A and B are shown apart, each in its own frame.
Chain A
Amino acid sequence: HLQLQESGPGLVKPSETLTLTCSVSGDADDSISSGSHYWGWIRQTPGKGLEWIASVFHTGSTYYNPSFKSRVTISVDTSKNQFSLRLSSVTAADTAIYYCARHLLNGFYNYWGQGRLLTVSS
């Protein structure tokens, strides 16, 4: 059974850079390197609701929401079965629950992490 687990700081200061990591575990068929799945980050705020940030394929191909593109980097480490999100120059508006999830090209977010609450505050 596939499991995704987010890790990273719960509190960062304004203007700092945030790095979140999603660890993927399960059967051999569930590895990041297998299949045609994409691995993405979505965040949830009271004001904007659920918002897609970025996705990565195991080959390293990356896809970004233009709203974040200048500040965000997504990467994958197949040897560790992990993928990461780096968000720079954070502000209070980046305070949110950050989810990692697996999806297909046409949506189908069928596995989600439990979510990581990030607070941006001095």
Chain B
Amino acid sequence: DVVLTQSPLSLPVTPGEPASISCRSSQSLQHSNGYNFLDWYLQKPGQSPQLLIYLGSNRASGVPDRFSGSGSGTDFTLKISRVEAEDVGVYYCMQAIQTPFMYNFGQGTKLEIK
């Protein structure tokens, strides 16, 4: 099974400052087609998770451009260029390389405002 390890697990950030979350996979998430099957989700307090980034680096519809995803293979990063108060919540990475649908999520990184 693919194991995803996120760090840090807790991330206090001052508004306006950048933030970075790492997601490391126990197996490569790069498909033979070249795509990396790694999504990022944000779960705001009291809400369902929402898709931020898919295929490692593609922003989902409506996601602000301050969010960016990068990485390949086993190491991925989600960056927020300037954190805003509305970015508070738990961020999850999810691998989608195992088929069919044996996807799993990282433990989550809780972002809070300082």
Contact = CB atoms under 8 A, between A and B. Distances in A.
Interface of A: 38, 40, 49-52, 55, 63, 65, 99, 101, 103, 105-110, 112-115
Interface of B: 31, 35, 37-39, 41, 47-51, 54-55, 60-61, 92, 94-96, 99-105, 107-108
Contacts of A40: 101
B35 A109 contact: no
B54 A108 contact: yes
A114 B48 contact: yes
B48 A115 contact: yes
Given A38-B101, A109-B41, A110-B51, 6 more contacts: A52-B103, A105-B100, A106-B35, A107-B37, A108-B51, A110-B54
A102 to B, nearest CB: 10
Contact of A110 (B60, B94, B96): B60
Nearest to A107: B96
B39 A108 contact: yes
Nearest to B50: A112
Given A63-B100, A114-B48, A109 B108 contact: no
Contacts of B50: 112
A101 B105 CA distance: 15
A63 B39 CA distance: 20
Contacts of B94: 50, 107, 109
B55 A112 contact: no
Contacts of B60: 110
A110 B50 CA distance: 7
Contacts of A112: 48-50
Contact of B39 (A65, A105, A109): A109
A65 B99 CA distance: 11
Contacts of B61: 110
B39 A107 contact: yes
B101 A99 contact: no
Contacts of A105: 99-100
Contacts of B100: 55, 63, 105
